[in-house]
Structure 1
């Protein structure tokens, strides 16, 4: 059959349109990920999360979200604010994987329920506790009268109104609760007057972790630098600086303590978590070579820990 001129023209337009559609589709596939897009699934899937945190939500306080630590809550929290967009969106592929390993390591250490001979290993017990263990009955309220962020009523320990650690990063002190509450709700008093509200919603809990990682720059030890910026600038060697931001007053700026001491054990476990997640994410070779066997207070192991913890340990 011979096509009339109008049909030939229509057929040509169809071919041209098809070519444009294919070209456009391919360009979308090849386009780099833009800041603000969700990059989490590229590096960590729901299946990965389940493997890495088999004991998540092992201890859930009364009134808290029973599924507080979930992949969905983590993923949705990352999408809550443009301020979180730099996470996993800056640096090369290795840097991004190291940053993910670093944030998971700190969250895991802050919430661990593991012990030296724990089933499946110490490092598999991250995201176990939603709040600081036994803090409600302890004598430390984590309250500072010098902070500009003040609750309507000054709490006295032990009390549910105290600002002990809650959430993946274990947000602590009234200054941090007030600043994050202002960021999340537009009102610092929401969490200052009811810090337990942070436990009611796992998505908000993970948001506190991302806020501390990408927004917070208030460390007196690593000034005007976020955890994200430390990892992007220094790679694996930024991990110690991150610890200095997270818990510098307790764990850093001192010599490596003996393994038998609580401080010595805690800082080594934080490094162990980093290596655990870095290995899983395929960037373990970026860290110093890890000695064979079980960690011990020996020159070889102490050298390894000092190299991993550069920027924290003197």
Structure 2
């Protein structure tokens, strides 16, 4: 039997991992984890648990998963600032002091892009 790959939540019985597949980040919003590949596939119409690679190889599915993730997890926090989007996308892996250097880098990039585009940064830059 093959060892379980990274980005597999073995406790998630609704969307169990295929031990020969990896659920690492793919697509424009880097879909990760079996608990995202499973429901994204179900909603969009592909086998996310047994064919996660399709998110990297099929441009239509790639962007559909990005929109699926955005609408399900990020869209509702848009008015709460950039920090809320970090939390919605990266959650406990980066927030609450788990990876302050990563959050700082994200805020720096965001600040640079806003400055280049001439738009306001807004409040709540950190998660």
Q: TM-score band (shorter)?
A: 0.7 to 0.9
Alignment match, 1:243: 86
> How do 1:288-307 and structure 2 match up within 5 A?
none
**3-state DSSP of counterpart to 1:143:** coil
**Alignment root-mean-square deviation, CA:** 2.3
Q: Distance in 2 between matches of 1:242 and 1:174?
A: 21
Alignment match, 1:60: none
1:272 matched to 2:108? The reply is: yes
1:143 matched to 2:8? The reply is: yes
8 Å Cα contact 1:275-1:287 kept in structure 2: no
Q: Distance in 1 between matches of 2:65 and 2:112?
A: 23
Q: How far apart are residue 140 of structure 1 and its match?
A: 4.8
Alignment match, 1:197: 54
**3-state DSSP of counterpart to 2:24:** coil
8 Å Cα contact 1:143-1:173 kept in structure 2: yes
- Structure 1: state its 5+ residue gaps: 1-138, 217-226, 258-262, 289-306
Q: Distance in 2 between matches of 1:274 and 1:165?
A: 20
Q: How far apart are residue 270 of structure 1 and its match?
A: 0.7
Q: Distance in 1 between matches of 2:5 and 2:49?
A: 16
> How do 1:41-120 and structure 2 match up within 5 A?
none
Aligned residues: 123
1:181 is aligned, of 33, 37, 41, to 41
Q: How far apart are residue 273 of structure 1 and its match?
A: 2.0
Q: Distance in 1 between matches of 2:121 and 2:103?
A: 19
1:228 matched to 2:89? The reply is: no
Kindly tell me: are residues 172 and 286 of structure 1, through their superposed partners in 2, closer, same or farther at Cα, counting changes over 3 Å?
closer
Kindly tell me: are residues 271 and 150 of structure 1, through their superposed partners in 2, closer, same or farther at Cα, counting changes over 3 Å?
same
**3-state DSSP of counterpart to 1:271:** helix
Kindly tell me: are residues 276 and 202 of structure 1, through their superposed partners in 2, closer, same or farther at Cα, counting changes over 3 Å?
farther
1:163 is aligned, of 23, 31, 51, to 23
Larger radius of gyration: 1
Q: How far apart are residue 178 of structure 1 and its match?
A: 0.6
- Structure 2: state its 5+ residue gaps: none
1:308 matched to 2:125? The reply is: yes
1:113-171 alpha-carbon deviations (Å, 9 max, x no partner): xxxxxxxxxxxxxxxxxxxxxxxxxx8521123321125xx31xxx5x11111112211
